[in-house]
Chain A
Amino acid sequence: MTLRRALLALLAPALVLVAAGCGSSSTTTSTAGSATPASSTSSASHILRIPYLADMSVPDPDIFYDIEGNSVILSAYEGLLKYSPNSDKLVPDLATSWSESPDRLTYTFHLRANVHFHDGSPFTAKSVIASFKRRLNVGQAPAYMVKPIASMTTPDPLTLVVKLKEPVDPFLDYLASSWGPKMIGPEAIVTHAGKDFGQTWLQTHDDGTGPFQLTEFARGRQYVLTRNENWWGAKPFFQKVLLKITPDISTQQLELENGSVDGIMHSFPAANLSSLPSSVKVLKYPSYLRLLLYVNTNKPPFNNPAVRASLRAAIDPAKLVAEAYSGTGTNSKGPFPAELLSGQPTLPYAPNPTVAAEGVTKASTKSIVLGFTADESGIQRRVGEILQAAPEAAGWKVTVKEVQLPQVYAYINNLGAAPDLLLQTNTPDAANADTWSRILFFKEGGLNFLGFNNARVNKLLEKSRSAAPAESEQLEREAGQEVVNENGIFFLGDIDNVFVLNKDLEGVEQIPAYPWTVNYASLRRTSG
């Protein structure tokens, strides 16, 4: 038994270590919860804590083109126009009014007075020109929105006249898009230009005019937005917004339930919504985020229209969306998000096991691959697994395969090696039908992953962009009808913006075209 005593000497450090972890109840409670440390000057109730599931790419509005991170860009920067909350109505932002010439080539913007950038410099028409030019110079994806501009002039410091090369129906929507051109302080652009138009500096700083300033960008850990005391709008309630990178949705959920964070803005497991404690509330709003099933029409078996039609009969979108999204999504009614286009063609999706089974007999192969892009919440995997069942019941042998987004972008280079079916969620850049159809239905569309190519659709879309609004909408409807008839893309579901928030948060403003994002400047705490 003396060996036991000898062991005690060795065990002691381990026991002390464990005790250090477990025996600190009296002093660590505040650390685990919402502490008010000495180094902070903001009172706890005026700090908003929101988790992000992943880092944003970069907080540079001329490069950023993702969804996670939208709230940083929209808090720090402003554009000329924006959308009214819960709608797709264009309203003033840094432009107080605007007009369009009859030939739709000239736009005149009257700008808001007494607006300052975060570095204190004034916002004028010249700032807009500098920001638009920087976007072109940086030349990343969002640059396409200012490419139609032929020239810009400034009759006075608060008036900007923009002339386009040709009429562009969605031009004003580009200016209101969350990825649209944002105003960046021209002095900062010059001072920190470096050799890359200030891209390096803007990776960790901002110089917008927004209600918050990006005061810390600790990649992988947290971003801090601090209230802009000189903002032209109503003073935001929160002094700071802490965006903590918490990549596990279960951890986020536990932290919300324990009050360590104030809300979860996306990817909350729908199945857990019904078992939340009374301290939190769930808010659901329609968004433009859509669940799509791409069909590879460029190789057997789905290069055969009859086989594609039979596949349509195998799918039951209503059941799929109900099972996967548990009340946080609805099955799509048309090829465009409903609010983007009135009178759009209806979707003829009606499951018919007999037709579905007949189609399999016409197919050159019964083995098909269904790819899906994994997301942080795991819902895409679940959709894939549910979706797998219906075609298999019809006689298909479906292999479900997880793929990464860069692989998906490469499918267009070798469609023969691409999967037969691809599950994706996507959203238009703005509340305009063209910003959906052009990237999805057009032969060179960036989200046209499996090479859908229909000559009539391409022609209609080429015409619609410069057509007058009413004609443009009609052309979009016709293009949409053609896509539906072709069964090259199935429009399965419209996914809600689901915000799970502490009950004491009020003033939620969201915009369907800005997925996963609420306006931090309008939020307030009732208990504050």
Chain B
Amino acid sequence: MAGLIARRSVALVAVLFGLALIVFVLQAVVPQNPARAMVGASASPEVVAKKARELGYDEPLPVRFADYMERLFSGNLQTSLRTRNPVVADLESFAPATLELALTAAAIAAAIGVSLGLLLAAGGRLARVLRTILIGGASVPTFLSGLALILLFYSTLHLLPASGRINDTLIAPTGPTKLMLLDALLHGEPSVFWSVLTHLILPAFTLALIPALAIARVLAASCEAVMREDYVRTARTKGLRERTVILRHVLRNASGPPLTMSGLQFGLLLGGIVVVEQIFAWPGLGRYLDQSIAYADFPAITGTTLLLGTAYVIVNFLVDLAQAWADPRIRTV
């Protein structure tokens, strides 16, 4: 296990360095003038030049790269060109919303994925119908499923809100976790908790839909293969209850591929966050990144990319741990 952690730590550093390098190269090769964009159209050439100097854009490329890496190593992500806040402060402000959404979506994806996967593996007419729905569902783009859910649950049924993280006239809890659902509970605010929960359902479900379907399909295929194994037949002939056979022997041995798939899907989920946060006006990192890209705000883009990259590596590390738990053979690899 120690070896696994060491390997993953090295991988994390390598991935972050790679991401930082890619963002820097993009910043260097894309012809753009953030200094002019920042100070505006009517700014005099002197004002633009002064801003470019402040931002370090007048330095030679190697000097800029050295400064950039030095800042990154010291945890200084610079100041956002758009919000004019330190990027670290912006990330602290936007990341909790994304974390709350991603965690909820991951939980929904896991619950639906596992349930549907087992239903499919069970076979029968229902499974065939589900399989058809899954194939169709997996091909629906996130923005379309998001809009469809808004039309159904907000416009038609008036059950759930379409946008935001909390009712706009409620006072949002400010801590301690910055996860509003949890903070509302900790502060004993049931109306806030309910408002946050209702706002969370549609975006989380939209985000979870495609990963859930992918997990379900992989789990079903994996279960079907495992159920043909001799030890499963032996377990049944020994008279074990079907529930025990499935939960103890089939599910655990079939969990490798869906766990791997979950790790990969988490990357897609992070990608989908930009779209989902856009549709549902969710004030998270996806929105921050989207607006920063339009502004060529490279400090903000760099910070967000590194944070999301770290999250991706950590989640895949956790998936590795889960796989090692499920299949002891992996621990020695």
Contact = CB atoms under 8 A, between A and B. Distances in A.
A447 B37 CA distance: 11
A14 B115 contact: yes
Interface in B85-125: 85, 90, 93-94, 97, 107-108, 111-112, 114-115, 118-119, 121-122
B61 to A, nearest CB: 15
Interface residues of A, number: 84
Nearest to A64: B40
Contacts of B41: 65, 141, 439, 445-447
Contacts of B90: 219
Given A10-B115, A35-B169, A140 B40 contact: yes
Nearest to B242: A2
A409 B160 contact: no
Contacts of B198: 21, 24, 28, 31-32
Contacts of A417: 31
A433 interface: no
B308 interface: no
Nearest to A4: B122
A406 B246 contact: no
Contact of A260 (B30, B162, B287): B162
Contacts of B39: 65, 140-141
A57 B44 contact: no
Contacts of B202: 21
Interface string B31-54: 111101101111111010010000
Give the interface centre of B36, B155, B163, B168 by most chain A CB atoms within 10 Å.
B168
A39 B85 contact: no
B167 interface: yes
Interface stretch (B133-141, B288-296, B317-325): B288-296
A49 interface: yes
Contact of A144 (B44, B164, B293): B44
- B: contact size bracket: 35 or more
A199 B44 CA distance: 20
A307 to B, nearest CB: 25
A497 B247 CA distance: 63
A28 B163 contact: no
A254 B169 contact: no
A234 interface: no
B267 interface: no
Interface string B167-184: 111111000000000000
Contacts of B121: 3
A2 B247 CA distance: 13
A406 B296 contact: yes
Given A2-B243, A405-B294, A39 B283 contact: no
B31 A248 contact: no
Nearest to A447: B41
A219 B287 CA distance: 11
Contacts of A33: 158
Interface string A212-256: 000000111110000000000000000010101111101100110
B194 A27 contact: yes
Interface in B254-306: 278-281, 283-284, 287-288, 290-291, 293-296
A254 B151 contact: yes
A9 B93 contact: no
A283 interface: no
A407 B296 contact: yes
Contact of B43 (A3, A144, A242): A144
A444 interface: yes
A10 B251 CA distance: 11
A405 B291 CA distance: 12
Contact of B45 (A57, A254, A444): A444
A195 interface: no
B37 A54 contact: no
B65 interface: no
A242 B84 CA distance: 23
A275 interface: no
A406 B34 contact: yes
A10 B114 contact: yes
Given A14-B112, A37-B167, 13 more contacts: A7-B119, A9-B243, A28-B194, A35-B167, A140-B39, A220-B283, A222-B168, A247-B287, A404-B296, A407-B31, A407-B33, A410-B36, A446-B43
23 contacts: A3-B122, A4-B122, A7-B118, A7-B119, A11-B119, A21-B201, A35-B169, A47-B169, A58-B83, A63-B84, A65-B40, A65-B42, A141-B41, A141-B43, A141-B47, A219-B283, A248-B163, A248-B280, A251-B163, A404-B293, A404-B296, A405-B294, A409-B36
> What 9 pairs between A and B have smallest CB-CB spacing?
A141-B40, A446-B41, A406-B296, A220-B283, A2-B242, A65-B40, A6-B243, A409-B36, A410-B33
Interface of B: 30-34, 36-37, 39-45, 47, 50, 82-85, 90, 93-94, 97, 107-108, 111-112, 114-115, 118-119, 121-122, 147, 150-151, 153-155, 157-165, 167-172, 191, 194-195, 197-199, 201-202, 205, 241-243, 246-247, 278-281, 283-284, 287-288, 290-291, 293-296
